[in-house]
Structure 1
Amino acid sequence: MYRLAPLCLFAFSTAMAAPVVAPPDPGIDALMQRYDGQVPGASVLVLKDGQPAFRRSYGLAVVEDRTAVTPASNFRLASVSKQFTAAAVLLLAEDGTLSIDDPLKKWLPSLPTVADGMTLRQLLSHTSGLLDYEDLMDPADTRQVHDIDVLRLLEKENRTYFAPGSSYRYSNSGYALLALVVGKASGSDFATFLRQRIFLPLGMTHSYAHQDGVDDVPNRAYGYSEIDGRWQRTDQSTTSAVLGDGGIYSSIDDLAKWDAALYDERLLRRSSLQLAFSPATRTNEPDVPHYGFGWRINGDALWHSGESIGFRNVIVRYPKQKLTVIVLTNRNEPEPYSLAIDIARRWLDAAR
């Protein structure tokens, strides 16, 4: 049986639902100037010691009707979603429903023999060697791919980039398959599991693993790209319906509740959080020496970016300093990691 959310959690959720007034910061406003005005915008949240130290939105969530971005605007998180997929697997491990060392084929037996040595742990840490499903898609087929279609594509490929567990390669395929494992192990489906076991217990009532025709995203920010000097809506691609690797929509206000849950045991046991936040493998990515489960690890910093058509996002956490910076944007560029680091330095430097 899984644990019910404690009563104190609902008090926290109610408090966070109320408007929060954080001090203005002209320095951050200057950094965010390009997102302000009648252009695709951004939401920025700085949490220090569990409280909003800066919370502000800029620009437009919907360019066509000039709907402004607010702290409640929901952006497609893209690969920031991976930390939620990893958390879902860890919750099922706590339930005793699965083990992170289970063979992948225990849950997805239709995969070819090349997957015989793969484990869920390897998918979580990008060390499985699975082929990128994006490279296997038919470029002439404009239909959206779903997680189950990723499995169908991989069922036909009895080859990998490397022997399972022998190297690192960032893999959207692995997280799409993990979403299917969550569905199969829980007897539900991935989107429903996230909502029932993570979003609602934490008070993230407006967050969804979005499925067209199944749910509607409230306060939705749409994605845009600058093409020939004009902003054009580029909200969806053929891969935008894959949930496990990047299909979650959320806001800075809901993500504040997620960040709070990563400091205690209201959602995951401390041992599970330690697994997620500890180096599981070395990477080959510049300036990112290690990867955990759904988190990049660089010294004291835990972070993840999310890039998909029309969206660029990042969450950067410094748990020892109780500092988190979240930047969500609904445009194709630039990637906001360096921006988030510049914002974080305002607090990190002050503490020295």
Structure 2
Amino acid sequence: MRFPFFLYLLLAMTMLNGLASANAQGFDAALEKLVARQYASAAAPGAAVFVLQGKDRFVKGYGLADLTKRLPVTPQTQFRLASVSKQFTARSIYELIRSGKLQYTTALGTLFNDLPKAVRAITVRQLLQHCSGILDYENLIPADQHAQLSDEDVLRLIQTKDSVYFQPGSKFRYSNTGYCLLALIVQKLGGMRYEDFVKQQVFDPLALNEALVAHPGVFIPHRAYGYHPEGNGFRFADQSLTSATKGDGGVYMSVEAYARWARVLIESATDSNGYFNTIIKDPFPVKDGIGYNLGWFICTEADGSTAVFHSGESTGFHNIVYINPHKNTMVIIFSNRDDFKIAALFQDITAQVGIGPKALAIAHTPLFNWLNSLYAEQ
């Protein structure tokens, strides 16, 4: 007896669907095991994790977003992104350049009054690439400072010092100062508050629901609060003197929303003039074959493909993101505890999905630790 062709087709499709389901279950189980190894306690601060590899997708929250109210971390929980925020400041600058209001070569002296001579010739591109040599504002904060600093305060601190670390454009030195000044440029040329510009020009067009730049009086829905390990427990550590600046680290976002931003980058990689290719074009060299541009570190993987990544570290929060459009792969980890469990987890996940900078893989250097040491060189 011969079966009709459509029955063979139906049987084949059923088998393929079953295989895909089994693969997805295996993918989830493997990642669940890795995450649970680091964030096992449901009663401690935790993390939200989003991993995409090809067609496989894993997203889940672990631990508590708020220890007082016992609120769990979910994929919708909004974390302070810290330095991961820099990519949104850079995207805002890109929008100003695209609209003809600014150029990469524009010098700070044409944008701000009363700048010291040593700072006036620094360009927008040099700020974006951390090669300006501008002084770190954290080292200029007065000993008797008690109020949180704003981006405007950062500008005032810079106006008091007629010096730079090195000739602008000559070397890499990671700078929060530069991104605070970029936020002020966005505000000045965008004709509105920085947080409003980012919302209107970046978040809303990409449907990054509830994402926002923190500012005085704002309500942050589904907010995670930051904690620091202390003894056998955790100390509330959500804010510091530098937690109110916007351009260098003020964004709050969930992994669910961030994954949509990452998807936009992945899709733009197919366009030679798309934003991903703008990011990876002419980066400034950092070290170990890794470069920097527009709020992203840029690397080459063992197979020759290009990926971008960044971490964010501030009191109470540690985060890391990694995107390889050529492999349709992304890893997003946002954590509301400033310990280094995230470093081990990120290393385990990237090994599981087969991504990572070629140079660091050869040296067996965990990427989060590499980034942490780089920031410490400030």
TM range (shorter): 0.7 to 0.9
Structure 1 residue 258: deviation in Å? 0.5
TM-score under structure 1 length normalisation:
0.87
Cα drift, residue 53 of structure 1: 0.9
Q: Deviations over 1:134-184 (max 9, x none)?
A: 000013212100101000000001000001111110000000000000010
Structure 2 CA distance for aligned equivalents of residues 343 and 110 of structure 1: 49
Q: Provide the residue aligned with 1:146 in structure 2.
A: 150
How many residue pairs match? The answer is 323
Output the amino acid matched with 1:290: G
- Contact kept, 8 Å, 2:50 with 2:60, in 1: the verdict is yes
Q: Is the Cα contact below 8 Å between 2:265 and 2:325 reproduced in 1?
A: no
Task: State the alpha-carbon separation in 1 of the partners of residues 280 and 194 from structure 2.
Answer: 22
Deviation at 1:228, TM superposition (A): 2.3
Within 1, Cα distance between the matches of 2:143 and 2:260? Answer: 39
Could you tell me how far apart the structure 2 residues matched to 1:132 and 1:76 are? 21
Read off the aligned partner of 1:199 and give its amino acid letter: F
What is the one-letter code of the residue matched to 2:51?
V
Bigger mean CA deviation after superposition, 30-39 or 60-69: 30-39
Residue 205 (structure 1) shift? 2.0
Match 2:186 to one of 150, 167, 182: 182
List aligned pairs for 1:85-124, cutoff 5 A.
85-124=89-128
Are residue 243 (structure 1) and residue 246 (structure 2) matched? Answer: yes
Q: Deviation digits for residues 252-282 of structure 1, max 9, x if unmatched?
A: 111011111113459x993543232234211
Cα deviation digits, residues 295-344 of structure 1 (max 9, x gap) = 01121221000000000000011121010000000001116245224213
Per-residue deviation at 1:73? 0.1
- Deviations for 1:60-108, whole angstroms, at most 9, x for unmatched residues? 0001121000000000000000111111101111111111111122222
Is 1:63 matched with 2:67? yes
Q: Structure 1: which amino acid aligns with 2:273?
A: R
* Alpha-carbon spacing, 1:310–1:236, altered in 2? closer, same or farther (3 Å): same
CA distance in 2, matches of 1:269, 1:78: 30
Structure 1 residue aligned with 2:44: 39
Letter in structure 1 aligned against 2:174: Y
Deviation at 1:293, TM superposition (A): 1.5
Contact 1:304 1:314 in 2 (8 A): yes
- Aligned position for 2:352: 346
Cα distance, 1:335–1:119 mapped onto 2, change above 3 Å? farther
Change (3 A) 1:178 1:198: same
Indicate the SS of the match to 1:291: strand
Comparing 98-107 and 233-242, the one that deviates more: 98-107
Q: Which amino acid aligns with 2:189?
A: A
Structure ID, larger Rg? 2
TM-score (norm 2): 0.81
1:316 aligns to 2:319 (yes or no): no
Q: Which residue is 2:204 aligned to?
A: 200
Measure, in 1, the Cα distance between the counterparts of 2:314 and 2:148.
Answer: 14
RMSD: 2.0
Q: Which ranges of structure 2 fall in alignment gaps of 5 or more residues?
A: 1-23, 301-305, 356-378
Give 1:163's aligned residue: 167
The DSSP-based 3-state class of the residue aligned with 1:25 is helix
Are the equivalent residues in 2 in contact too, given 1:307–1:335 (CA < 8 A)? no
SS of alignment partner, residue 327 of structure 1:
strand
- CA 1:336 to 1:278, structure 2 compared with 1: closer, same or farther past 3 Å? farther
Contact 1:316 1:340 in 2 (8 A): no
**Structure (1 or 2) with the greater helix fraction:** 2
Contact 2:78–2:223 (8 Å) recurs in 1:
yes
Corresponding position of 2:296: 295
Q: Which runs of 5+ in 1 are unaligned?
A: 1-21
Contact 1:128-1:163 at 8 Å conserved across structures: yes
Q: Which residue of 2 aligns with 1:28?
A: 31
- CA distance in structure 1 between the partners assigned to 2:274 and 2:29 by the alignment: 40
Correspondence 1:253 to 2:252: no
How far does the alpha carbon of each residue in 1:103-145 deviate from its partner, in whole angstroms, 9 at most, with x for none?
1222223321111221000000001000000000013212100
1-structure distance, mates of 2:319, 2:181: 23
Shift of the 90–269 alpha-carbon distance from structure 1 to 2, 3 Å rule, reads farther
In 2, the alpha carbon distance for the partners of 1:131 and 1:64 equals 39
